[in-house]
Structure 1
Amino acid sequence: MANEKLKLMIVDDEYEIRQGLRSFDYSAFGIEVSDDCENGLFALKALELAPADILVTDIRMPLMDGLELAEKVAARYPHIKIIVLSGYDDFEYAKKCMKHGALDYLLKPLDFEEYEKALAEAARLIDREKDVQERAAVLERKAKLSAHHLRRKFLRDLLQRAMTDEAIELESAFSEVMLEENGEYAVCLLRLDSYPDRPRGVGDKEWNLILFTLDNLMQDLWDEQGMGYHEVDDKGQISLILTNPDEVAELKRSPEHLRARMERIVLGLKRFRGLLKSHMSYVMGPTVAGPGRIRLSNREAGALFHAPSAREEEEQAASEAREETIGGELERENGHRLIEEAKRFVEENYDRTITLDDVARHVHLNASYLSFLFKEMTGQKYIDYLILYRIEKAKSLLKQTNYKIHEIGERVGYENPRYFTLVFKKYAKQSPVEYRNAFYQAESGGR
Structure 2
Amino acid sequence: MNRKFLALALASTALFTSTAYAEDVTLTIESWRNDDLALWQEKIIPAFEASHPGIKLKFTPSAPTEYNAALNSKLDAGSAGDLITCRPFDASLALYDAGHLTDLSDMEAMGNFSDVAKAAWQSDDGSASFCVPMASVIHGFIYNKDAFAEVGVEVPTTEAEFFAALDKFKEDGTYIPMAMGTNDQWEAATMGYQNIGPNYWKGETGRQALLLGVQKLTDEPWVAPYRTLARWGEYLGDGYEAQTYPDSQNIFTLGRAAIYPAGSWEISGFNTQADFEMGAFKPPVQNKGDTCYISDHTDIGIGMNAKTAHPEAARAFLTWVASPEFAEIFGNALPGFFPLSKTPVELEDPLAKEFVSWRGECESTIRSTYQILSRGTPNLENETWGASVAAIKGTESPEDLGKKLQEGLASWYEPQQ
Greater RCO (Cα-Cα under 8 Å, separation 6 or more): 2
TM-score range relative to shorter protein? under 0.3
Flag the structure with larger Rg. Answer: 1
Q: Which structure is higher in helix share?
A: 1
TM-score (norm 2): 0.19
